[in-house]
């Protein structure tokens, strides 16, 4: 199945692999996705839609075992404050449902900020834009396709599963 994100990667001549997994709508955590696609959770990145104090929406992309630090995101975005977007706003704004959000191919091109740890790996995994499908690609290719700025975005000493 080709998603908008996969089509964008094809258009940019970016090499990627897809991995399908069975979705449990009651457990959409990155840890579960990582186990199902057989990758370390720190290499499975989750994409969160956030709203800045001026009303601009941006994406924050962090490892599956970390929590997004909204203060660090605000600094990276040169804003006073950032908060997670309301879940009810995510699909109308991005075209994606929770558990299937990706920067690439969203309804609108929002600025994206990716945590610096993605550069530690040869391969990372991000949602392909639908639940049950992940894209595996090189971090530099992801940064290029997502037009992402790289910054420290995670809460220090906080890990999640």
Containing 135, the helix (H) or strand (E) segment is strand 133-137
List pLDDT tens digits, range 70-128: 999 999 999 999 999 999 999 999 999 989 999 999 999 999 999 999 999 999 999 99
Tell me: the pLDDT tens digits for 14-57?
999 999 999 988 888 899 999 999 999 999 999 999 999 999 99
Q: What is the DSSP letter of 80?
A: S
Q: Is the pTM of this model over 0.85?
A: yes
Closest CA to 45 of 110, 98, 117: 117
Q: Report the candidate in 134, 133, 132 with the shortest Cα–Cα distance to residue 23.
A: 132
Q: Where are the beta strands (DSSP E) in the chain?
A: 17-20, 45-52, 57-63, 66-68, 82-84, 111-115, 124-130, 133-137, 148-151, 154-159
Domain 4-154 in CATH 3.90.960.10? The answer is: yes
């Amino acid at each position: 199945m080709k998603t908008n994100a996969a089509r964008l990667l094809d258009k940019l001549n970016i090499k990627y692999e897809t991995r399908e997994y069975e979705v449990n709508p009651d457990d959409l955590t990155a840890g579960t996705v990582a186990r199902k696609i057989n990758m370390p959770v720190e290499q499975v990145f989750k994409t969160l839609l956030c709203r800045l104090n001026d009303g601009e929406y941006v994406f924050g992309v962090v490892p599956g075992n970390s929590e997004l630090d909204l203060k660090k995101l605000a600094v990276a975005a040169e804003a006073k404050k950032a908060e997670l977007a309301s879940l009810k706003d995510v699909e109308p704004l991005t075209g994606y449902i929770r558990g299937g959000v990706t920067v690439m191919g969203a309804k609108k091109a929002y600025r994206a900020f990716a945590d610096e740890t993605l550069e530690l790996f040869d391969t990372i995994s991000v949602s392909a834009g639908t639940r049950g499908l992940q894209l595996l690609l090189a971090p530099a290719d992801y940064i290029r396709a997502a037009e992402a700025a790289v910054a420290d975005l995670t809460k220090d000493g906080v890990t999640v599963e």
